[in-house]
């Protein structure tokens, strides 16, 4: 304790000299440490008063509360009143970034305030403590330089009061900061942060920008052309490139990648102003593309915890050509409906329906969701795979309390358990929708407790009492573009680890097992095709061979001329006569299966579809071979196609049908069809034009009893079919 005024004066002079030296050290140290990071960046001039107030209110809600014995500064519970609540996105982003920065350095800033004797020497109300913290961080970040104030900016009394206080303690604050750096042997307060937080900030500053193309407004080719006109050029990778470049993402064909420093330039282009390009984290694009891969044309989608409305819009754009409807649940305030509809209208989205119930409260048998086949579940998570937490919270409408976890570099075990339990409840509820056939589960977390553990637990304890097929884990439906991705997906989960090019992401696809009773047979496929008019002109055969022998299906075709019809009948009769003489034992069977009943053109290949592993056998082939060798070539019917014994003779009309593994034999004009093995008829048939010219003229090994093909007259192979 100082006993005299002279001693007190001498002590104050020495303290002032020491403080000045520490202050100069603090300023020089901060300049040296930030010289590399601030190169080319504009000098910071401070924020508007309203930003400080909003940042103080955000900080008040997310600050780290300490035990009573460790409390250095008391914070009030009342938020500061702002003159106007701005809803501008850039305003909110500045406020949240300032609050998050103050939160990361809360311990250091509180120590500086105590060491500089601002506390407890001044009588400042407790409700202004949060404002002092956020303004002190900005003050030291500006190297204790004065703030630039705009003439038309509206001032706030509390902000002006705190600013005057900090300026009056400028030297002492700088000295306290220098002593803190020396204590931690750090070049700047940035190096005092935990290593995980520093790495996160480094990734956030260099992470590329991802933007998806609104194909309802513009095509990818038009986007490329527009960017090239603005000086951008396409590259394979945007890493470590400071030029105006862009690249196309390997997983999502409609996603472009830009270097991080081009964001302000891109936001001023018409592509972003007109909602033709939309910035969004890649993990959300991976989720909607996974859903798109599982959809049929008329399947509906249920989206849960979508967060950003851009995710809903992207899903709508991808299904624009379908008749699908997208249901979005969790919009509790109906007052937001007009704003949301306005955004969706500007983006060209038309198939979105908003549900105001929370997902857990929606019944699985809700009549509105009977056509929902795929559920996209984006549960609230820790988000520890994201490099920019402020962007994540604002874009996904997450709770600002997550910033506390980000500032510490991790999530507490208790909070992680609560999140995992919520995720499990939502996933199991999604699996109760009996009409749904798939669930896509996606998070931005790197914790297995929120990812693999939740999915495996839900699959293990899914309700088997429901009369539906259980879910199973399916492989990723996204392309795997590297060996690392293949290795990470060996257990059927799709993972993206946080890196310098992307945020972390986890994605799982659950699909129902196929019901054996609903296995679709070849007959069912053909029946459906016939019902849709795809088999017009083709008559399906009976399933039973016994019925096929007893009955013949009849089909009407345009009638041919009388002369052509009579000529065909004569030629068929001559051929059958020769076959009867050659093989008396099989003549009756041949006559029953070959003679037409009416004067129609029912000659051609069979409409009976056969499986490729069971080729039809033709017992008439040997007899046919023997008789053709002794017959005169000019008497041979050139346009007759020998039918198989179990087939009906119908004429195929021009129709395109591709039904793997179904096989439709086509009509051949060469008259020796029975010589060819059935397995040669694997082809895509598109009407009568698909006749292979060299089908029979191709040299091959002669079969037993078959005359070499080069001895046949050319007219035998090239003569047209008169009945078609």
The 10s digit of each residue's pLDDT in 238-291 is 988 889 999 999 999 999 999 999 999 999 999 999 999 999 999 999 999 999
pLDDT confidence of residue 655: 60
User: Are the C-beta atoms of 664 and 611 separated by less than 8 Å?
Assistant: no
Which pLDDT value is given to residue 627? Answer: 43
Active-site annotation holder among 444, 481, 505, 683 = 444
Where does 368-482 have alpha helices with state H? 389-396, 402-408, 413-430, 452-460
Instruction: Give the containing element (helix H, strand E) for 494.
Output: strand 494-496
Element of type H or E holding 372: strand 372-377
Q: How confident is the model at residue 34, as a pLDDT? A: 43
pLDDT score of 179 more than 80: yes
- Of the candidates 88, 395, 376, which has an alpha carbon nearest to the alpha carbon of residue 211? 395
User: Tokens 């009056």 map to which residue?
Assistant: 168
Closest CA to 304 of 390, 465, 433, 214: 433
Q: What is the pLDDT of residues 429-481, one digit of tens each?
A: 999 999 999 999 999 999 999 999 999 999 998 876 567 889 999 998 988 88
On the question of pLDDT at 78 being above 70, the answer is yes
**Cβ–Cβ < 8 Å for 402, 382:** yes
Residue 635 has pLDDT above 70, yes or no: no
Instruction: Please give the average per-residue pLDDT across 90-119, as a whole number.
Output: 92
Residue 659: is its pLDDT beyond 90?
no
Neighbour count for residue 709 (Cβ, 10 Å): 17
Q: Give the separation between CA 235 and CA 120, rounded to whole angstroms.
A: 58
How far, CA to CA in Å, does 273 sit from each of 265, 344, 683? Answer: 12, 14, 51
230 torsion bin: left (phi>0), alpha (psi -120 to 50), beta (else): alpha
| CA 111/CA 115 separation, integer angstroms | 6
Helix orientation angle between 282-293 and 309-318, rounded to the nearest 10 degrees: 40
- Quick one: average pLDDT of 577-594? 52
The question of whether 381 is a catalytic residue gets the answer: no
Please give the helix or strand (H or E) that residue 400 lies within, else none.
none
Selected residue with higher pLDDT from 604 and 99: 99
If you average pLDDT over residues 162-167, what whole number do you get?
Answer: 94
Give CA–CA dist 253/221, Å, rounded.
12
Residue 663 exposure: Cα atoms within 13 Å on the Cβ side: 14
Determine the pLDDT at residue 253.
94
Flag whether pLDDT at 609 surpasses 90.
Answer: no
Number of H helices and number of E strands within the chain?
Answer: 26, 15
Better-scored residue on pLDDT, 615 or 118: 118
HEC letters along 635-700: HCCCCCCCCCCCCCCCCCCCCEECCCCCECCCCCCCCCHHHCCHHHHCCCEEHHHCCCCCCCCCCC
Instruction: Give the span between the Cα atoms of 290 and 506, in whole angstroms.
Output: 12
Band (pLDDT 50/70/90 cuts) for residue 649 is: low
- Average pLDDT for residues 597-611, to the nearest whole number? 39
3-state secondary structure of 458: helix
102 pLDDT above the threshold of 90: yes
Q: How far apart are CA 569 and CA 93, in angstroms?
A: 86
Report the pLDDT value the prediction gives residue 465, as an integer from 0 to 100.
Answer: 58
What is the per-residue pLDDT across 688-704, written as a single tens digit (0 to 9) for each?
Answer: 444 444 434 444 444 44
- Residue 12: pLDDT band with limits 50, 70, 90: very low
Instruction: In whole angstroms, give the CA distance from residue 287 to residue 314.
Output: 10
**537-566 pLDDT, tens per residue?**
665 555 455 554 554 544 444 444 444 555
Helix axes 49-62, 157-168, angle to 10 degrees: 80
pLDDT for position 628? 42
* Per-residue tokens: 75: 């914070």
> What ranges in 105-153 are assigned the alpha helix state H?
106-115, 118-121, 129-141
Q: What is the mean pLDDT of residues 583-597?
A: 45
Lowest mean pLDDT among 49-58, 333-342, 456-465, 515-524: 515-524
Residue 616, φ and ψ in degrees, nearest 5: -75, 140
The span from the first CA to the last CA of the chain, in angstroms, equals 120
What CA–CA distance (Å, rounded) separates 330 from 359? 6
pLDDT given at position 326: 95
pLDDT digits 0-9 by tens, 705-718: 444 444 444 444 44
pLDDT of residue 492: 92
- For the chain, percent of residues with pLDDT exceeding 90: 40
Q: Give the residue from 364, 379, 327 showing the smallest Cα distance to 468.
A: 364
Q: Quick check: 329 and 358 in contact, CB under 8 A?
A: yes
Considering the chain, what percentage of its residues have pLDDT values greater than 70? 64
d(CA 608, CA 614): 13
Residue position matching structure tokens 């002079």: 13
Residues 120-143 have pLDDT tens digits of 777 888 899 999 999 999 999 999
Average pLDDT, the chain: 76
Tell me if 259 sits within 8 A of 232, measured CB to CB: no
What's the pLDDT tens digit per position in 360-398? 999 888 899 999 999 999 999 998 888 889 989 988 878
């Amino acid at each position: 304790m100082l006993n005299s005024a002279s001693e007190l004066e001498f002590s104050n002079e020495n303290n002032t000299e020491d403080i000045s030296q520490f202050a100069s050290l603090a300023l020089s140290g901060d300049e040296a440490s930030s010289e590399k990071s601030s190169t080319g960046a504009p000098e910071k001039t401070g924020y508007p008063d309203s930003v400080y107030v909003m940042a103080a209110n955000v900080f008040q809600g997310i600050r780290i509360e300490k035990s009573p014995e460790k409390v250095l500064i008391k914070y009030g519970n009342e938020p500061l009143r702002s003159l106007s609540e701005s809803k501008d996105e850039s305003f909110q982003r500045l406020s949240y970034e300032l609050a998050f920065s103050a939160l990361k350095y809360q311990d250091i800033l509180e120590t500086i305030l105590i060491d500089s004797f601002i506390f407890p020497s001044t009588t400042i109300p407790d409700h202004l403590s949060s404002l002092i913290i956020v303004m002190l961080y900005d003050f030291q970040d500006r190297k204790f330089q004065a703030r630039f104030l705009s003439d038309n900016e509206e001032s706030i009394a509390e902000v002006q009061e705190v600013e005057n206080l900090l300026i009056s303690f400028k030297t002492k604050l700088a000295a306290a900061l220098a002593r803190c750096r020396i204590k931690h042997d750090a070049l700047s307060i940035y190096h005092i942060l935990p290593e995980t937080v520093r790495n996160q900030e480094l990734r956030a500053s260099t992470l590329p920008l991802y933007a998806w193309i609104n194909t309802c407004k513009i095509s990818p080719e038009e986007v490329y052309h527009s960017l090239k006109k603005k000086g951008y050029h396409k590259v394979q990778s945007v890493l470590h490139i400071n030029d105006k470049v862009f690249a196309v993402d390997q997983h999502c064909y409609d996603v472009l990648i830009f270097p991080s420093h081009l964001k302000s330039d891109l936001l001023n282009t018409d592509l972003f102003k007109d909602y033709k390009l939309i910035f969004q984290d890649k993990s959300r694009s991976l989720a909607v593309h996974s859903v798109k891969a599982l959809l049929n044309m008329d399947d509906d989608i249920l989206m849960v915890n979508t967060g950003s409305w851009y995710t809903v819009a992207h899903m709508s754009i991808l299904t624009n050509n379908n008749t699908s409807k997208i249901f979005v649940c969790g919009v509790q305030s109906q007052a937001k409906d007009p704003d949301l509809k306005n955004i969706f209208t500007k983006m060209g989205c038309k198939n979105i329906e908003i549900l105001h119930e929370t997902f857990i409260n929606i019944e699985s048998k809700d009549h509105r969701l009977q056509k929902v086949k795929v559920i996209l579940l984006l549960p609230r998570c820790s988000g520890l795979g994201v490099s920019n937490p402020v962007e994540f919270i604002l874009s996904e409408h997450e709770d600002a309390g997550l910033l506390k976890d980000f500032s510490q570099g991790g999530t507490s075990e208790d909070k992680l358990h609560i999140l995992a339990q919520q995720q499990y409840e939502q996933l199991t509820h999604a699996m109760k929708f009996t009409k749904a056939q798939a669930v896509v589960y996606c998070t931005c977390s790197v914790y297995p407790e929120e990812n693999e553990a939740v999915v495996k637990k839900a699959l293990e304890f899914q309700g088997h009492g429901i009369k539906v097929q259980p879910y199973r884990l399916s492989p990723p439906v996204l392309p795997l573009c590297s060996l690392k991705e293949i290795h990470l997906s060996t257990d059927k989960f799709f993972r993206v680890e946080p890196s310098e090019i992307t945020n972390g992401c986890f994605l799982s696809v659950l699909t129902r097992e196929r019901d054996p009773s609903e296995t679709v047979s070849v007959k069912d496929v053909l029946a459906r095709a016939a019902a849709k008019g795809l088999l017009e002109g083709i008559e399906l055969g009976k399933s039973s061979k016994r019925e096929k022998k007893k009955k013949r299906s009849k089909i009407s075709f345009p009638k041919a001329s009388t002369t052509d019809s009579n000529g065909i009948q004569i030629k068929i009769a001559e051929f059958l006569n020769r076959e009867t003489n050659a093989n008396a034992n099989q003549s009756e069977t041949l006559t029953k299966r070959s003679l037409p009943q009416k004067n129609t053109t029912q000659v051609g290949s069979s409409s009976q579809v056969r499986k490729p592993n069971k080729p039809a056998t033709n017992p008439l082939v040997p007899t046919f071979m023997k008789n053709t060798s002794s017959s005169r070539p000019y008497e041979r019917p050139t346009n007759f196609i020998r039918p198989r014994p179990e087939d009906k003779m119908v004429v195929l009309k021009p129709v395109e049908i591709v039904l793997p593994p179904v096989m439709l034999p086509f009509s051949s004009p060469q008259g020796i069809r029975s010589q060819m093995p059935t397995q040669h008829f694997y082809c895509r048939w598109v009407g009568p034009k698909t006749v292979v010219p060299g089908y029979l003229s191709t040299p091959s090994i002669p079969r037993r009893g078959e005359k070499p093909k080069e001895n046949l007259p050319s007219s035998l192979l090239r003569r047209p079919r008169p009945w078609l």
